[in-house]
Structure 1
Amino acid sequence: MIRSDSGADTVAHRTVEVPVRGGALTVGIWGPEDPDAPTVVLIHGVTASHLAWTHTAAHLAGVRLVAPDLRGRGRSNGVDGPAGMAAHADDLAAVVAHLGVRPGIVVGHSMGAFVAVALAHRHPDLVTRLVLVDGGLPLATPAGLSAEELVAAILGPTAERLRMRFAGPEEYLDFWRPHPAFREVWDETLEAYFAYDLTPDGDAFRPATSYATTVEDTVDLNGGSTTVPDALAALRHPTSFVTVPRGLQDQVPGLYPPTHLEALLAAHPQIVHERWDGFNHYTVVMSDAGGRRMAERLRVELAR
């Protein structure tokens, strides 16, 4: 099923439903319907949805962008079964097969970067190049934390909101407008993104992202299984790794402090690192400036 959606983006946007284990993923598609058009697969972060890529899509006319709501998020929050990086990677493989996407560029932001690494390992013939955006390599987290403590240490208020209830979209937007990561870049595209995140819950609304799935995925990407370590050890695809100086609360340092980052790059010399100053963990893709720069970066990848 394909339906037209309205939104703040300026490039044609539609969604499709793709069968996966336990249900169906909602997949956003921007750009030409022609399957031979240049195509990039985009994977969002741990509590996001496919609309996290709208700013990028606005600057990539003529390119087909394929971006699912991962299981447990957005309109895919009803998919049954366990999550984890391997499950998301297999879901992505099902999306690519269903849409007839040729092997190509895969971009992952935050948790989506870990999914991209797992996809390249589990389904190497579906990927030609990887772009990992502020994620995909091990995070600098303390050892010995419980699952709940790990989520709190990494996500903080981003995870806490998943248990909150809101009267409606306006109250939810009011919750987000003063957020330190977004208050300087707030626009209609972000409003559409956050409004999409809400789902009815009795006489109120809640964020669509499953808290349980968020915990499961956060533990998994931080060594809860061998999926990510094995995938990184076997990484053979050309890979770019973009980091930014500020984190989820616009704080310094970001997710990859300098000393930690230096050790990671030494351990993975095949990965090409890029530092993008002027962005935080969110605005690197979820702002007009971030979307524009990401689009420029992807045009370079497509030219290769």
Structure 2
Amino acid sequence: MTTVPYEETRVPVTGGRLTVLRWPAHETGAPVVVALHGITANALSWGRVARALAGRVTLVAPDLRGRAASAGLPGPYGIAAHADDVAAVAGSLGQGRVVLAGHSMGAFVAALAAVRHPERFGPLLLVDGGVGFPAPTGLSPDALLSAVIGPAMDRLSMTFADRAAYRSFWQAHPAFAGSWSPEVEAYIQRDLTGEEPVLRSTCRIEAVRADGTGLFAPDVLSAVRNLPVPATLLWAERGLMDEPQGLYDESRLRAAALPAEAVRTVRIADVNHYTVLTGDRGAQEIAHRLLAAAR
């Protein structure tokens, strides 16, 4: 099985051009969905969802500033910068308001983008992100990021002898055990840059630091409570390391006191923080929700 073909374009943004992947719909005039990846990910993390959508919508996913083919874009970084970049992407499509989706950090970007640019976006789909909690006190920025995203932060300072070594690194990750696919392979390989035997992640560590600490900014934390459009939060039952406790659960969401009339929450069983997007079960559920929102 091969991955679904996509087109690669570039959109003018502050400081340069943002790289954007586009999986076109089979029919002219089909709805458009813009989809945002997580803090150390890239646009191809949405590849399994593209397969599940099966050409029924046009799916547009940028490499966010400081990652993959957009790694060369300069700062300033941060959630607000991404939100403005995404508004530029939406504006370039000539479609009016589009459905906006985001996974993990991308969900926080989506919520803030909807608040900052209400004329650009329709319904939101937040995937295991977008609802924050107060930051732990007494931690340095790097310690805070390691506490939140763990090995994903550690890998940014690692090098790999070849692409097979990088594959082995990810296949040993508990979240991907038994859930490898051509889409996951393409996604993780898009992250690499350099020459053998010194390959490394494309993610700029200064961008990840700025974005990670920015997740706890008041305007970012409050965005999900101030949305001008309806949103659905799909939350994964399991966590970043496939542990039983996910980022969210019923008690945490009750404590978050989300506006029930604006944000619907839906638990996705038997998935973790990664496979809610990259696995078959999660991707099918996301595709179903996106199609409903696009209609």
TM-score tier (shorter) = over 0.9
Query: What amino acid is aligned across from residue 238 of structure 1 in structure 2?
Result: P
Structure 2 CA distance for partners of 1:231 and 1:272, relative to 1, 3 Å: same
For residue 239 of structure 1, what is the amino acid of its counterpart? A
Alignment of structure 1 residues 1-304 onto 2, 5 Å: 8-10=2-4, 12-32=5-25, 36-60=29-53, 61-139=55-133, 141-200=135-194, 204-223=198-217, 226-264=218-256, 266-269=257-260, 270-303=262-295
Moved more, 35-44 or 148-157: 35-44
Q: Offset at 1:230?
A: 4.5
Unaligned runs of 5+ in 1: 1-6
Task: Pick closer, same or farther for the CA change 1:35–1:146 going to 2, 3 Å.
Answer: farther
CA–CA distance in structure 1, aligned partners of residues 30 and 250 of structure 2? 39
Find the aligned partners of 1:80 and 1:201 in 2 and give their Cα distance.
23
Tell me, in whole angstroms, the C-alpha distance in 2 between the residues paired with 1:251 and 1:259. 17
Q: Give the secondary-structure state (helix, strand or coil) at the position aligned to 1:247.
A: coil
Deviation at 1:193, TM superposition (A): 1.0
Cα distance change on mapping 1:267 and 1:194 into 2, 3 Å: closer
Q: Deviations over 1:128-148 (max 9, x none)?
A: 111111101113652332211
Residues 23 and 131 of structure 1: is their aligned pair in 2 closer, same or farther, counting only changes over 3 Å?
same
Cα offset, 1:244, TM superposition:
1.1
Structure 1 Cα separation of the partners of residues 187 and 258 of structure 2: 36
1 CA distance for matches of 2:105 and 2:28?
27
> How far 1:17 moved relative to its partner?
1.1
Q: Is the CA contact (8 Å cut-off) linking 2:104 and 2:130 kept in structure 1?
A: yes
Q: How many residues align structurally?
A: 293
Conservation of the 8 A alpha-carbon contact between 2:91 and 2:120: no
Q: Which residue identity does 2:246 align to in structure 1? A: G
Displacement, 1:35? 7.0
Aligned residues of 1:35 and 1:101 also touching (Cα < 8 A)? no
Give the letter aligned to residue 122 of structure 2: T
Contact 2:64 2:70 in 1 (8 A): yes
Q: CA deviation at 1:252?
A: 2.0
Shift of 1:110: 0.2
RMSD: 1.8
Contact 2:133 2:221 in 1 (8 A): no
Q: CA-to-partner distance for each residue in 1:56-113, whole Å, 9 max, x for gaps?
A: 0002123100100000111100001211111001101111122323202100100000
Q: CA deviation at 1:301?
A: 1.5
In structure 2, relative to structure 1, the CA distance for the partners of 1:213 and 1:66 (3 Å cut) is same
Query: Would the aligned equivalents of 1:111 and 1:136 in 2 still touch at CA under 8 Å?
Result: yes
Q: By how many angstroms is 1:34 displaced?
A: 7.1
Normalised by the length of structure 1, the TM-score is 0.91
- How does the TM-score come out when normalised to structure 2? 0.94
Shift of 1:203: 5.1
**Would the alpha carbon gap of residues 213 and 201 (structure 1) be closer, same or farther in structure 2, given more than 3 Å must change?**
farther
Provide, for residues 215-244 of structure 1, a one-character-per-residue CA deviation record: whole Å limited to 9, x for no partner.
110100122xx3314533422211111111
- Percent identity at matched positions? 41
**Partners of 1:85 and 1:227 within 8 A in 2:** no
Matched-pair contact (CA < 8 Å) for 2:105–2:129: yes
Could you list the per-position Cα deviations for residues 172-228 of structure 1 after superposition, in whole angstroms to 9, with x for gaps in the alignment?
0011112110011112221111111100168511011112211110100122xx331
